[in-house]
Each structure stands twice: as C-alpha cells, then as structure tokens.
Amino acid sequence: MQNKHLIEVLENVKKRDGDQPEFIQAVTEVFESLDPVADARPDLIKAGVFERIVEPERQIIFRVPWVDDNGKVQVNRGFRVQFNSAIGPYKGGIRLHPSVYLGIIKFLGFEQIFKNSLTTLPMGGGKGGSDFDPKGKSDAEVMRFCQSFMTELSKHIGPDTDVPAGDIGTGAREVAYMFGQYKRLRNEFTGVLTGKGLTFGGSLARTEATGYGLCYFTNEVLKANGKSFEGQTVCISGSGNVAIYACEKATALGAKVITMSDSNGYIVDKNGIDLDCVKQLKEVERKRIKEYVSTHPDAEYHEGCSGVWTVPCDIALPCATQNEINEESAKALAANGCYCICEGANMPSTPEAIEVYFANNMLYGPAKAANAGGVAVSGLEMSQNSMRYGWTFEEVDDKLKNIMKDIFAACDSASKEFGMEGNYMAGANIAGFLKVAEAMKAQGCV
C-alpha cells in the first residue's frame, strides 16, 4: 500500500482496534486493493469516506441469560454490529459459536458491506452473534437461548432497519425461534429475519443459495479461463449449510466432490461424496462427519480438519470458517495441482495463502464475491415479504444465477479498469466499495 491517506487510516485502525486481529486482516486486504482508487479519487478522501467506512455506525453488546435443562442459569454475550447503512438497511447473519467476540463480528460486518453492495440489491452491512455453542444443546435449550437473544435484539432491528439471518450455528431452527419471539414481542408479522421457514415467509432456494451461488460464481471464473466443472475433482471443507449445497451443485455441474470436513476431521470418498448420507447425518441427526465412514467402508476418515487441503484436487471450495487455509495448506494445494480456489466461507484464506495463490497463477474467487449468493437470496426474500408474494424455486434460482454472473462481470471489469486483470479479489473490493463510497459521499458527513 502506497497511498499516504490509506496508510494513516489503517494505522489508526490498528491503534484503536489492536485487539481484533481478524478485523485488521479484513481492513488491510480491502485497503490494499483500494490503493489505486484512493490515488484516483481525492474527492472520496476529502469526504472522509475511508475514515468513516472502518468505524461501525453502531455496536450493541448485551447480556443473554437463559436457563439450561438442569435449571442452572447460563450467561452468554450477544453482539450486533450495524456497520454501514449507506445503500440500505443493515443486513447480515448471526453467528453462534464459542469463538465469537467483537473482532469476529466486526470482520464479518465489514466484509458484508462490500458483499451486499456487489449483489446489486439495496442492503447495508451488519453482523451479529454470540459465544453460545448450539452443539450438544437440547432443542429446548436452543429455544430459550434464542428467545433471550431476541428479547434484547428486537429493540434494535426491524424490516427497514436491520434484517439478520443465519451463519455458522444459526440455521432454520434458530431463525424460526428468533422470528417467533420477535413477532410475539412486537405483535408484527414482518420480514425482520431471512432464512425463515417456507410456511412463514421464507424464500424458496434460500437454503441452497450460498452453496449454489458459489458454484455459479466458480463456473463463471472457470468459463472466463477456458475451463469448466466437467470431470474435475473438487475438495470441499465443512459439512454445514454452505458445504452441502456447494457439493450438490458442483456434482450437478459434472464435478466429483471427494472431501468434506468438520472441526474434528475430514472424510475422503474417492467414489464421490454420497450427499444424501451427509444431509441425513448433518441436517437431521446433527452428528459428526466421521459417522460417514460407518456406512461407507471405502471412504477414509482422518482426524484434524486442516489435512483436507493435502488431498489432491483440481478445484478447492473452502466452506467452513475464517483462516482455514494457511500458507502451508495453500502450498500443498498448489503442489498437488489445484488451479482454482473459490471461497464459500468468509475470509477462509490467510493473507499468506492468498500470496501463494497469486504466485502460482491460481484462479482465486474471494469470499465477498463468491459467497454473496446467500445474502442475495436473502435480499430476494425481503422483496417477496414486502410484496406479500412468493416466487417459484426456478424464478429465485434464475435470479440468483444472473446475480452471480453480474458479480463476476463487475469484479472482472473493475480488475481490468484498475490495471489488475484477473485479480478478482481487487476487482471485488473495488467494485463493492465504489457504490457504497458514492452513496456515503452523496449523503454528506453522517
């Protein structure tokens, strides 16, 4: 990074938020891409856009008390970071995972600003969550947690203010409990959350959207470079919502997916993953991925999740969590002939891993473009809720396909315009930023 103003703003972020390494990582990546933009646009510097965009508009931290099945009081910490509302109401998921603290929610909220901008739909950036761990909890415990979480959150959100959704640990069950509590507290049936059940305002294809969208985006990357999914071997990490539907669509597009994982370990099935089995294990029984081998004796299970990147493949789709691919894993992928990485998870590659991708001329589809399909269909769910109407699966899926195509085109053309052809990371950061920056400048110093 050369631009003096960007260097100064980043230094200030490091000073103020030095205890939030994930947030600093996300800001650094975006600012490095924005170097030529800052040089070309003194008007944005004058309008204070760079200083303003790294400071959330509002951050809410609250107590979440609930009673467990033994009658014992438990206390978790809840967060909602309302990062940027320049182009629409705050929009972004809720993460329930023991690793959650302010720095995780801020990195996710910051990324969400640019991702939501790329979707072309009117959504600002936000994120929330808690250090609550749904794993091993009964349905009743999860319900009591969600009700307590929403009792406070309901004071800060609304269909035209801030619209949460799912993320790690928050799926259909959690969204439904949160929606029920919001409706009860406010006596309003509105589209205040997305990812709702199909019987109460959810959109068809939202469950599939992030994984499908990831494959539609990857397909565009491949096509632009004279390749396709047909006959390719794919490694996927994770075995949650994003991983499952990425596996389904990659397979439908002619690829063979041979791995999936969870935080304990990974499976390799050279015959191609049996997705019905994974869905049953993860979506119905809420079991660990290692159970897969008990019904698939040809498949292998290995302890330790990072080993998944040592399995030879053509295309890698990380769909688990942040920083899951480090320099060593990236080098293993490259050495084994992997030529394309597209990110279903948010920020799954460390900065050193990304350097390895570029040094080896690998095709790289960054998260904020590649996984934008989930929030894009959330935006379509909001539209359907406002119309009090619903589209068919095919209608939503078609819109999703077109949105992912347009996102790729925007990344590609921004990368060319700023002299970094083929660098879709820079393209995504620049294209996502410019729309928000213009809106922030137009609205004055707010």
Cα distance between residue 191 and residue 193, in whole Å: 6
Residues 287-306 that bind ligand NDP (CB under 6 A): 305
Options 38, 81, 168, 215; binder of ligand NDP; rule CB under 6 A: 168
Look at residues 428, 404, 408 and name the one whose alpha carbon lies nearest to residue 418: 428
Of these partners, ligand 2IT, ligand NDP, none, which one is at the site of residue 239 (CB under 5 to 8 Å by kind)? ligand NDP
Options 92, 125, 366, 374; binder of ligand NDP; rule CB under 6 A: 374
Of these partners, ligand NDP, ligand 2IT, none, which one is at the site of residue 92 (CB under 5 to 8 Å by kind)? ligand 2IT
Q: Which residue number has the CB closest to ligand NDP?
A: 240
Q: Of the two residues 258 and 345, which places its CB atom closer to ligand 2IT in the complex?
A: 345
Binding mask 224-253 for ligand NDP (x = CB under 6 A): --------------xxxxxx----------
Residues 94-153 that bind ligand 2IT (CB under 6 A): 115
Q: Is residue 93 at the binding interface for ligand 2IT, with CB under 6 A as the rule?
A: yes
Strand partners, 74: 66
Q: Is residue 85 at the binding interface for ligand 2IT, with CB under 6 A as the rule?
A: no
225 phi, psi to nearest 5 deg? -115, 25
Cα distance between residue 84 and residue 373, in whole Å: 20
Cα distance between residue 23 and residue 425, in whole Å: 17
Of these partners, ligand 2IT, ligand NDP, none, which one is at the site of residue 213 (CB under 5 to 8 Å by kind)? none
Residues 166-195 that bind ligand 2IT (CB under 6 A): 167, 194
- State in angstroms the smallest separation of the CB of 295 from ligand NDP: 18
Of these partners, ligand NDP, ligand 2IT, none, which one is at the site of residue 427 (CB under 5 to 8 Å by kind)? none
Q: Of the two residues 3 and 207, which places its CB atom closer to ligand 2IT in the complex?
A: 207
Q: Is residue 210 at the binding interface for ligand NDP, with CB under 6 A as the rule?
A: yes
Q: Of the two residues 251 and 360, which places its CB atom closer to ligand NDP in the complex?
A: 251
Asked if residue 103 lies in contact with residue 61, where contact means CB atoms within 8 angstroms, the answer is no
Look up tokens 């990857």; give the residue.
218
**Which one of the spans 26-34, 69-77, 147-155, 374-382 is the region binding ligand 2IT (CB under 6 A)?**
374-382
Torsion angle of alpha carbons 232, 235, 239, 243, nearest 10°? -50
Options 92, 109, 128, 344; binder of ligand 2IT; rule CB under 6 A: 92
Q: Is residue 117 at the binding interface for ligand NDP, with CB under 6 A as the rule?
A: no
Q: How many CB atoms lie within 10 A of CB 158?
A: 16
- State in angstroms the smallest separation of the CB of 9 from ligand NDP: 26
Q: Of the two residues 267 and 430, which places its CB atom closer to ligand NDP in the complex?
A: 267
Q: Is residue 166 at the binding interface for ligand NDP, with CB under 6 A as the rule?
A: yes
- State in angstroms the smallest separation of the CB of 90 from ligand 2IT: 10
Of these partners, ligand 2IT, ligand NDP, none, which one is at the site of residue 319 (CB under 5 to 8 Å by kind)? ligand NDP
Give the strand pairing for 233-236 and 73-84: unpaired
- State in angstroms the smallest separation of the CB of 167 from ligand NDP: 5
Q: Catalytic residue numbers? A: 127
Cα distance between residue 196 and residue 203, in whole Å: 7
- State in angstroms the smallest separation of the CB of 65 from ligand NDP: 24
Q: How many CA atoms lie within 13 A of 283 on its CB side?
A: 14
Q: How many CA atoms lie within 13 A of 353 on its CB side?
A: 25
Q: Is residue 346 at the binding interface for ligand 2IT, with CB under 6 A as the rule?
A: yes
Q: Is residue 203 at the binding interface for ligand NDP, with CB under 6 A as the rule?
A: no
Residue ranges binding ligand 2IT (CB under 6 A): 91-93, 115, 165, 167, 194, 346, 374-375, 378
Residue ranges binding ligand NDP (CB under 6 A): 166-169, 171, 210, 238-243, 262-264, 305, 319-321, 344-346, 371, 374
